[in-house]
Structure 1
Amino acid sequence: MKSFSLAALALVAPVHAGLRFGCSTLTIQRLDPVVEPGTVGTAHLHHIVGGNAFNATMEGDVGERGTCTTCEMAEDFSNYWTAVMYFKHPVNGSYIRVPVVNNAALARGTTGGMTVYYTQHDFNTDDLKNQKITAFKPGFRMTVGNPTWKSGEKNIGLRYNCLTTLINRGAEMADFPTRKCAAGIFAVHHFPACWDGKNLDSPDHQSHMYNSKVREGFVNAPKCPSSHPVRMPQVTYETVWDTTKFNSMWDPAKDKQPFVWSYERPGVAGGGYGTHADYLFGWQGDSLQRAMDKSECFYDGCGSIKKQTMDVANKCTVKTLVKENIDGWVKAMPGMENMV
């Protein structure tokens, strides 16, 4: 989609099919049980939401091990994470973490976190009559994007918006905005939705899935190819990064765009082309499948999923396994101290 506003969404919501809900921040740590399983102190820092089974290693049925979740949907013990955004000072080169703020129209009390979507087809078409949407299986995981990408052309569905307000997003773009954003930077990660029907993971954490879309995220997609014939829900993350507090610290007329992801290091660009995200399925029982079998439902849990208030969700925590400074100004981002 080229641009998007919640006001427009409200006008056409009755024809939408899928879930949209908020998850408060669970933890910010250098852990990644998908790409670097078993490692305490992974290559770079992640912003993580979801269930409290999150750990350095996660195998099997996560939904059965979780006892709480930071998500509004009380049966969702999945974990969702992305790299962390940093501001790089244009004069001395030091870094400071950019905080996450609430997206618009989420449940009252959501703290930072992300907005999570599970769409059955797209934003405007209920296609359940033509194709079955198959929920993910216990143990399923995937990633989207790649920290090493240099060209925005490869980043299907990975987009940015320069927010004028939390409601008005403006046009999507493939890389970080080069101007100051009045209400922050909005990052969107659309995952592929075609599965090979066999593998819960793959060596690169992507080959078992296929993205049939050409470029945009919330648009019609062609049918899944024969190599990946199973249509699954399209998972999407939206994160609002509060860059506003840094607007007085840089001048677009003379300074390089100062926002980078948490893996930026000398000699390796940390710009928006390398944005990426990880997903680890953890819904309890058949709760997600029940929702995907419904049509013309949005926001409301599709009439079958239990909800919780966000004051309950916000009590869900995990231990901090990697003890390091993630707040305040630093000369190098966590994990990047000895990188060249």
Structure 2
Amino acid sequence: MRWFSLALALVAPSQAALRFGCSTISIQRLDPLVEPGHIPSAHVHQIVGGNAFNATMSSGQNNNIAETATCTSCFFSEDFSNYWTAVMYFKARNGTYKRVPIVANSQLEGSTDGMTIYYTQKDFNSNGNAKITAFPPGFRMTVGSPATTSKSGVVKGLSYTCLQTINTRGSETQEFPTKACPAGIMAIHHFPACWDGKNLDSPDHQSHMYSTTKTGTFVEAGPCPASHPVRMPQLAYETIWDTTKFNDKSQWPADGSQPFVWSMGDRTGYATHGDYVFGWKGDSLQRAMDSSCMFQACGNGKPLLSQNAAAINKCKIKPTVNEDTEGWLTELPSAM
């Protein structure tokens, strides 16, 4: 479904949604949520957002990364949050691996790779006249699990689209596409939006949140339960992996199976997952959720501050883990 033009054309005052790009700040084996302090972590991640990202990133309300970061790779310059997912590799017929590059989504300003980030209130048409509470400082969560091995274990909201063009949507699957995709593979991560109102994190990084999503779309599926009564923004990631560079079927497995694999070794796609650490400056995200702006029109002080392409793509962090993640590899970095 082509919803970009439709969403951008809507002008009702009840609209309220953020859609923006964030360039990659690092690709390396670090995971401060699931494996804090481990150098390296179990598998490679692609990370976007603020440059306060590091191997530890202590939790708690007093550990506000918006106060320690000095730059962000996101369009909105008040967003120092960190967003990360696993990295996709191509496994050639000869058994070697190469990282699949990331390309920017369409109708975004500035970013050259990385992710598209969404914060929506209800859907792309309305905020539902309900109060949306922004994530508080110190908030963290994950969605999905690198240990998922079956389709039945995949949570709603995690999916893939085999892109016919960069603007096509629909026909989502919970496993990797099995055919060559003309414009790449888009990985989609929808996070839960109901909070228990108490815990900034939980031991599994998920129990403090509850998802009402039933269809895996940008539309809420129902009211928050009494156990998790606080409605928060619907956070979602889209990452476009440029698999077109590997569409030569002569390099695919001899049995014709799809050749892509997540950095933790998953070839099904079921183990896709995403991580989030909140880091918006002050009340900036709350102001956006209280507004009626749409997408990048929320920038330039209406109500959020934004930055140009040079600033977006300049923000990087130095690698902590010294290993090869690029070029043709005989093993995935997680196996070395």
On whether the aligned pair clears a TM of 0.5, the verdict is yes
**CA displacement at 1:216 relative to structure 2:** 1.6
Letter in 1 for 2:139: F
Match of 1:92 in 2: 94
Q: Deviations over 1:29-72 (max 9, x none)?
A: 10111111111210000000000001001121111111100001
2:139 aligned with 1:140: yes
Please give the alpha-carbon distance, in whole angstroms, between the structure 2 residues aligned to 1:12 and 1:253.
Answer: 48
Tell me whether 1:9 sits opposite 2:12 in the alignment.
no
Identity value in percent: 57
Residues 178 and 134 of structure 1, relative CA distance in 2, 3 Å threshold: same
1:300 aligned partner, one-letter code: A
Answering whether residue 286 of structure 2 is matched by residue 289 of structure 1, we say: yes
* 1:78–1:260 Cα change, 3 Å: same
Residue equivalent to 2:105: 103
Distance 1:222 1:288 in 2: 23
Q: Is the 8 A contact 1:118 1:236 kept in 2?
A: yes
For residue 261 of structure 1, what is the amino acid of its counterpart? W
DSSP 3-state at the match of 1:173: coil
Q: Distance in 2 between matches of 1:280 and 1:306?
A: 20
Residue in 2 aligned with 1:263?
Answer: 264
| Unaligned stretches of 5+ residues in structure 2 | none
**C-alpha RMSD of matched pairs (Å):** 1.7
CA distance in 2, matches of 1:313, 1:206: 30
Over residues 251-306 of structure 1, what are the superposed CA-to-partner deviations in whole Å (9 max), with x where a residue is unaligned? 69942111110000xxxx43211100000000011110111111353322272110
Equivalence map 1:241-260=2 (5 Å)? 241-249=241-249, 250=251, 254-260=255-261
The reply to whether residue 83 of structure 1 matches residue 86 of structure 2 is yes
Aligned partner of 2:274 among 273, 277, 291: 277
Query: Number of paired residues?
Result: 327
**Contact 2:48-2:83 at 8 Å conserved across structures:** yes
SS of equivalent residue, structure 1 residue 335:
helix
- Partner in structure 1 of residue 297 of structure 2: 300
Q: Distance in 2 between matches of 1:147 and 1:230?
A: 28
TM-score in terms of structure 1 length: 0.92
Whether the 8 Å contact between 1:195 and 1:210 is mirrored in structure 2 is yes
Q: Distance in 2 between matches of 1:213 and 1:99?
A: 30
Q: Which structure 2 residues correspond to residues 112-123 of structure 1 after superposition, within 5 A?
A: 112-123=113-124
How far 1:313 sits from its partner (Å)? Answer: 1.7
Tell me the SS of whatever aligns to 2:25: strand
Name stretches of at least 5 consecutive residues in structure 1 with no aligned partner. Answer: none
Give the secondary structure class of the aligned counterpart of 1:273: coil
Q: Give the match's secondary structure for 1:124.
A: coil
Report the equivalent of 2:198. Answer: 198
SS in 2 for 1:272: coil
| 1:215-262 Cα deviation digits (max 9, x unpaired) | 322123211000000000011001000000100144699421111100
Residues 1:69 and 2:72 are matched in the alignment: yes
1:335, CA displacement in angstroms?
Answer: 1.9
Contact 1:94–1:332 under 8 Å retained in 2: yes
The aligned amino acid for 1:95 is: Y
Mapped to 1, the partners of 2:186 and 2:144 lie a distance apart of: 16
More divergent stretch after superposition (209-218 vs 22-31) = 209-218
Q: TM-score, normalised by structure 2?
A: 0.93
Question: Structure 1 pair 179/252, CA: closer, same or farther in 2 (3 Å)?
Answer: farther
Q: 1:170 to 1:196 in 2, by over 3 A?
A: closer
Write the mapping of 1:127-166 to structure 2, written as runs, cut at 5 A: 127=128, 129=129, 131-153=130-152, 154-166=154-166
